[in-house]
Amino acid sequence: MFVLELLKTHFGFDAYRPLQKDIIDTVVSGKDTLVLMPTGGGKSLCYQLPALALPGMTLVVSPLIALMKDQVDALCANGISAAFINSSLTTKEQEAVTSRVRSGDLKILYIAPERVDSYGFSDLLDSVEISLLAIDEAHCISQWGHDFRPDYRNLGMLRRKLAGTPVVALTATATPRVRQDILQQLMMPKAEVFISSFNRENLHYSVRPKFNAVSQLVELLESQKGESTIVYCFSRKNTEEIAQALVRAGFKAAAYHAGLPKQQRMQVQDQFARDEIPVIVATIAFGMGIDKPDVRLVVHMDLPKTIEGYYQETGRAGRDGLPSECVLFYTYADKRKQEFFINQLSDPQEHALATRKLEDVIMYCQSDVCRRFILLAYFGELDADTSCEACDNCTEPSAVPIEATEISQKILSAVLRTGERFGAAHVCDVLRGSKKKRILELGHDGLSVHGIAKNVSAGLLREYTQALKKCGYLNQSEGEYPVLEVSPKGRLVLMSKEEILLPVRQVEKSRSSSVSKSKTKSNLDYDQVLFEKLRALRKEIADQQNVPPFVIFGDKTLHEMAYYLPSGPEAFSNLFGVGRKKLEAFGEEFLACVSAEVLERGLEEKPVTGKVPQHQSGEAGKLSSTLEQTKVHVSEKMSIDKIAELRGLSVGTIMQHIEKLVHEDEALDIEHLRPGKDSFDEMEEAFRSVKGSSLTAVFRRLGEKYSYDDLRLVRMFLVD
């Protein structure tokens, strides 16, 4: 129960997520632990909460410098003493943190892996009690992982240095082979292993054919206007070109890649975290250090190298659990880009492994089965559902055979007329009458097939071409530059002019709207106007405190504010993500914002359902202790003002208590609270005349003569 109280007080959560309780109990008991949990699944809490429950300091090893700062900012906002030491700090700043460590002032210290063998660090560890060693991104220690980092090999030395100190290793992406390697490298043979499902239910996955990809990207961004988005590209040049194109299209966007000056990279990352630039176009160098929970869209403009990498990159979407989109633009030709780098590998074993991983990505892109099933099966969840209703293959119309004789004959003819020496992109360009330089140089603008399908979109032509390959009318050669060839079956059907049926998904109708419509950005029908005002307030407070907005409150908390419209601290404290520290620090300002909107627009507060109040034990059927206290005072015939004064709560909060008490116990005697006869009769008549219990309607009918609290009190006495 003590740990659960810490959870609510510092993190504002009423309950654990799946597996968290078992993991935290194991860590607190002093056992070595390996945690595999998807990004956004709550990994950080699995060492942050035990850090508060254990007596000494928790040492956290993380390779992500920017992430350290975000997590430390968030911990400090939650009333937890935390700091980090890494290369971003000056010598003086590092000395200040070191002093706090020696004085016992810190509960959590983050370090980068290279710090482990730095001068003086071993002596620093000798000066403080280390109760827990947490190793984040633990897959970096394995050469079989997708993100091996040599500095992580130093952790074996740290493990020996802290012999007897329990270790918790955490990662979001690890195949069975990588898991075993982590346990071996960290000398954890008896560790408890917890494997959470890799299923990110709030993410919608889709793969789109890569044609006019920038135009499609613009459409996507229009559908997610103003929301945080990461666009991944293969090369540095592409990031800059696409960022510039988006700026020309009217979006606030910036490029990010390792070739930019460090100061510029830091500035872009900071602007993204602070909601000042919503769209980042980046190489995969971006995102590892981002703890931003409200990324709503992740787009891959090019083929990822591995499934692990793709899963981790898409995992940066929707970390707050709210619905988010993951879109990948695919063309088989992109395979050559990846193969070029794979061919630079001299180690035959590494070359074979990289090739196999790339083939897994190709299979994911080309498959017509559930995308989620493929991802989960890759990570060993072989019992996953084969339909998720949250990917393009499950939600978009199935490809059904349609009559496509004429367009098929045109495509087959174009392949033959161009000499069966080109890929689908070139053939489609010829059919649509393109005047590209290469087409003119080859003289293909003079072919009889040039422009004969100019009224068919490039996307639909690609879809027909893919269907012709699937049905055996076209073959695609192997090699570095795969080309289309007409198969014997295709030649026969051309000569006989037989009817051709192709399984084609109607991209014209579905692609532009394939972002999931079945999911909104919240499960709550919250007030959009109030939400935007709360976002503006959050940004203002965050700027004053020099932290990203999500450190103050996440979107999910703002959604609940804009839905439940809490009027007092008690109701506010029951919202998701509101702990005691944040209630004290920010409650007054956000409550004032909500209250002003409620009064201005006549909105009505809703009871916060399905929540365990901050002071409640969680036992079913029992009133919370705070309600019990109010009930005692009501039974003692105290006035509402007196109860509020005695309890140190607002009149509105006490009124909420009494409403709940009357609902739970109709026999509760509140007669002494009945207003005077004249005012009561006037309010009663207003309720009867509006034929309902709407406080707003009665409030307006009475010309705002009585307060909402007065009206709520009278409503308790009325019976239908």
Nearest to 565 by CA among 542, 536, 599: 599
- For the stretch 213-265, pLDDT in tens is 898 899 999 988 889 999 999 889 999 999 999 999 999 999 999 889 988 98
Distance separating alpha carbons of residues 151 and 114, to the nearest angstrom: 6
Full set of structural domains in the chain with CATH = 2-195 (3.40.50.300), 203-395 (3.40.50.300), 400-504 (1.10.10.10), 530-717 (1.10.10.1390)
Nearest to 301 by CA among 211, 369, 368, 395: 211
Q: What is the gyration radius of the CA atoms in the chain, in angstroms? A: 31
Measured in whole angstroms, the distance separating CA 80 from the mean position of its chain's CA atoms is: 24
Q: How far is CA 655 from CA 473, 627, 631, in A?
A: 75, 11, 11
Name the pLDDT band for 133 (thresholds 50, 70, 90): very high
Q: Are 47 and 60 in contact (CB under 8 A)?
A: yes
SS3 content of the chain, % helix, strand, coil (to 5): 50, 10, 40
Edge-to-edge, what's the strand order for the sheet holding 82-85? Answer: 82-85, 108-111, 57-61, 130-135, 167-171, 33-36, 192-195
- For the stretch 424-436, pLDDT in tens is 889 999 999 999 9
- What single-letter amino acid sits at 52? L
Q: 468-494 as b/e, with b when 16 or more CB fall inside 10 Å?
A: bbebebbbeeeeeebbbebbeebeebb
Residue 620, pLDDT score: 33
Q: What is the mean pLDDT of residues 306-316?
A: 89
Cβ neighbours around 592 below 10 Å, total: 11
Cβ neighbours around 344 below 10 Å, total: 9
- For the stretch 576-605, pLDDT in tens is 889 888 888 888 889 888 988 888 788 888
Residue 254, pLDDT score: 95
| Terminal Cα distance for the chain, rounded | 43
Residue 290, pLDDT score: 66
Strands in 157-252 per DSSP E: 167-171, 192-195, 203-209, 228-232
Instruction: Give the angle subtended at the CA of 133 by the CAs of 130 and 139, to the nearest 5°.
Output: 165
Distance separating alpha carbons of residues 609 and 618, to the nearest angstrom: 13
Element (H, E) at 1: none
Residue 696, pLDDT score: 61
Q: Would you call 491 helix, strand, or coil by DSSP?
A: helix
Q: Would you call 391 helix, strand, or coil by DSSP?
A: strand
Q: Which range is least confidently modeled, 342-356, 548-562, 681-695?
A: 681-695
Q: How far is CA 666 from CA 352, 374, 659, 662, 669, in A?
A: 73, 55, 10, 5, 8
Write down the mean pLDDT value for the chain: 84
Report the C-alpha dihedral over residues 100, 104, 109, 112, rounded to 10 degrees. Answer: 70
Q: Is the dihedral of CA 469, 475, 480, 481 positive or negative?
A: negative
List phi, psi (to 5°) of 417: -65, -30
Nearest to 355 by CA among 368, 345, 365, 369: 345
